[in-house]
Amino acid sequence: MRPGRLVGMREVEVRDDGIRLGQLLKLADLVDQGSDVRPLLEQGVVTVGGRVETRRGRQLKKGDVVAVGDEKVRLV
């Protein structure tokens, strides 16, 4: 393993300057349906950059790390 490599983190490519949190969770297959996003946010299990996030419409940018439980994705 190379130094600095993040274990267990997937990279998700976004074409535009950014993406909303709810859209990313669906795109990254962290939820099955869009309607699954709200309960996860209300339970406080979604983090952005290590901080709990409750806003489905939170605008994300390249480099942000989003986690749901033990699954992590980084926007590239």
Q: What is the CATH number of the domain that holds 27?
A: 3.10.290.10
Whether residue 47 lies inside any domain: the answer is yes
- Does the pLDDT at position 2 exceed 80? no
Per-residue confidence (pLDDT) for residue 1, from 0 to 100: 33
Whether residue 4 lies inside any domain: the answer is no
Pairing of strands 9-12, 71-75: parallel
Please tell me the pTM assigned to this model.
0.86
Whether residue 1 lies inside any domain: the answer is no
10-67: per-residue pLDDT in tens?
999 988 788 999 999 999 999 999 899 999 999 999 999 999 999 999 999 999 999 9
Whether residue 70 lies inside any domain: the answer is yes
Whether residue 25 lies inside any domain: the answer is yes
| Residue of higher predicted confidence among 16 and 2 | 16
How many domains would you assign to the chain? 1
| Residue of higher predicted confidence among 73 and 14 | 73
Whether residue 3 lies inside any domain: the answer is no
Q: Residue 45 belongs to what domain range?
A: 9-75
Whether residue 17 lies inside any domain: the answer is yes
User: Per DSSP, which regions of 1-76 are E strands?
Assistant: 9-12, 18-20, 46-48, 51-52, 59-61, 65-68, 71-75
